[in-house]
Every structure is written in structure tokens, then in C-alpha cells.
Amino acid sequence: MRRLYAESLQGVCLLNGDERFAIRAAAELYKAILEDIEAHAMDVFHRRAHIGAWGKLQRLPGIWYRAMCPSTEVVNGLNGL
């Protein structure tokens, strides 16, 4: 799963600027949910996997910055094509 997240995030930099933040935010927030699932021994039947509102708010500035796609991410994303 983690490899899929890492590979897909490279493609975010190929999107138009307005779309990058929304897609990057969704990807990184779902990744955080995956981390919560892993932290609880993959038990999705006895508890709901989630990150709280505060956890989401804490992540947003970093997500916004990474959505700006520094030039190295754009180059790395194009190398995979």
C-alpha cells in the first residue's frame, strides 16, 4: 500500500495548480488513516480508523507546501513517465 501512495503522489505535480492541493490533501489524509489502521494492528472491525479534526488541521500547512511542487518533485514525476 505504501508504495502505491508514494508512486501516486509523484503524479500530483503534473496536475494544474488549482487541483493539486485538493488531490494532495485527499491522498495524504487517507495515508494518515492507513497509518492509524496499522497502529491498531489492522483492526478495522472493532474500531473506526480515523484522524481527528485537529490532526487534519495540523497536516494542512505541510500538505499545501508540498502541493506547490518544488521543482525536484516535478522532475521526479516526469522521470516516471
- Closest CA relative to residue 2, chosen from 40, 29, 35, 25: 35
Looking at the predicted structure, is the pLDDT value of residue 75 above 70?
Answer: no
Q: Looking at residues 15-26, what average pLDDT do you find?
A: 90
Looking at the predicted structure, is the pLDDT value of residue 5 above 50?
Answer: yes
As for how many domains the chain has, the answer is: 1
Looking at the predicted structure, is the pLDDT value of residue 13 above 70?
Answer: yes
Domain ranges, residue 31: 2-79
- Residue 47 in contact with residue 40, Cβ under 8 Å? yes
Model confidence, pTM: 0.75
Q: What is the pLDDT of residues 53-73, one digit of tens each?
A: 999 999 999 999 999 887 554
Q: Which three cell numbers stand for residue 40?
A: 491498531
Looking at the predicted structure, is the pLDDT value of residue 77 above 80?
Answer: no
What is the number of residues in the chain? Answer: 81
